Amino acid sequence: MANTKEKEQANAYTVKQLTKVYGEGRTAVHALRGVDLDIGRGEIAVLLGPSGSGKSTLLNILGGLDKATNGEAYFGAQNLTEMNDRELTKYRRNHVGFVFQFYNLMPSLTARENVELVTEIADHPMAAEDALHLVGLGKRLDHFPAQLSGGEQQRVAIARAVAKQPDVLFCDEPTGALDSATGRAVLRVLQDVNETLGTTVLIITHAAATAAMADRVINFADGAIRDVELNAHRLAAEEIEW
Ligand code: ADP
């Protein structure tokens, strides 16, 4: 078996006995109760579990948006749980992209300009046009959000997250506001990003069918991982039975 150091470097994330408690005393909420998890580089991982089971809390800690109470979370060999706020900001800027359920686009900016908000401040961005081509919106560059469907707006949000060429893409309910056909198209785009750029993708979802397109399926219950399944053959998004 590989020693711990080698394992940390081969993994995108190595999580050990991670806990998160919100609040104190009688009102304390134990959102994570000792999570152990490995996520390989270049994987698609799907987090499933009921509302309130701790999925977003884990994603926020791995994404550098929140801090753990105890335990360790490594990004490669870097210990996120020892980083101060400035280091976490740098980690987020250089390595991480986020996609949320609601697209958070600027309504007064075109698709291209929404993506440029990010490419202007990133170190090694791709061109906004290239990012929009990657998500299939090469013909919608100059449309405003109100002129785009929900699925198209989510694809702009994905282009914006991907344009800075992050190592990891975190997606919190990315298809939650979409019908099944549109949701599947958005998942196809996430799969394209993973396959084209090698980006590690973590997806939180209520749609259990999404698990079929993942390499690793992590089932959450009550702040802990109930089980992890590995798919030998992940399905293409369009093959998923919704
Ligand atoms: P999920 O993503 O699986 O729906 P969350 O990680 O959002 O679950 O929440 C896990 C638990 O932590 C829930 O009981 C939730 O109410 C609680 N929680 C999440 N964020 C906070 C917060 N900022 N303050 C207090 N409690 C929180």
Domains plus CATH for the chain?
4-239 (3.40.50.300)
Angle at 122 between CA 76 and CA 72, to 5 degrees: 25
Q: Compute how many other C-beta atoms are within 10 angstroms of the C-beta atom of residue 197.
A: 16
Q: How far is the CA of 219 from the centre of ligand 1 (A)?
A: 16
pLDDT digits (tens, 9 = 90+) for 109-129: 999 999 999 998 888 899 999
Mutate to test the pocket of ligand 1, among 29, 58, 171 (most ligand atoms within 8 A of CB): 29
Percent of the chain exceeding pLDDT 70 equals: 96
| pLDDT classification of 235: cutoffs 50, 70, 90 | very high
Ligand 1 neighbourhood includes 28 CB (under 6 angstroms): no
Burial grade of 8 (CB within 10 A; 0-12, 13-18, 19 or more): buried
pLDDT of residue 233: 92
| pLDDT classification of 2: cutoffs 50, 70, 90 | low
| pLDDT classification of 6: cutoffs 50, 70, 90 | low
- Give the type of residue at 227: D
pLDDT of residue 5: 60
For the segment 81-100, the average pLDDT, to the nearest whole number, is 95
Ligand 1 neighbourhood includes 54 CB (under 6 angstroms): yes
DSSP 102: S
Q: With 80 as the cut, is the pLDDT of residue 9 above it?
A: no
pLDDT digits (tens, 9 = 90+) for 146-205: 999 999 999 999 999 999 999 999 999 999 888 888 889 899 999 999 999 999 999 999
pLDDT digits (tens, 9 = 90+) for 32-88: 999 999 999 999 999 999 999 999 999 999 999 999 999 999 999 999 999 999 999
Closest protein CA for atom 27 of ligand 1: 22
Token match 């509302």: residue? 51
Ligand 1 neighbourhood includes 27 CB (under 6 angstroms): no
Closest protein CA for atom 21 of ligand 1: 22
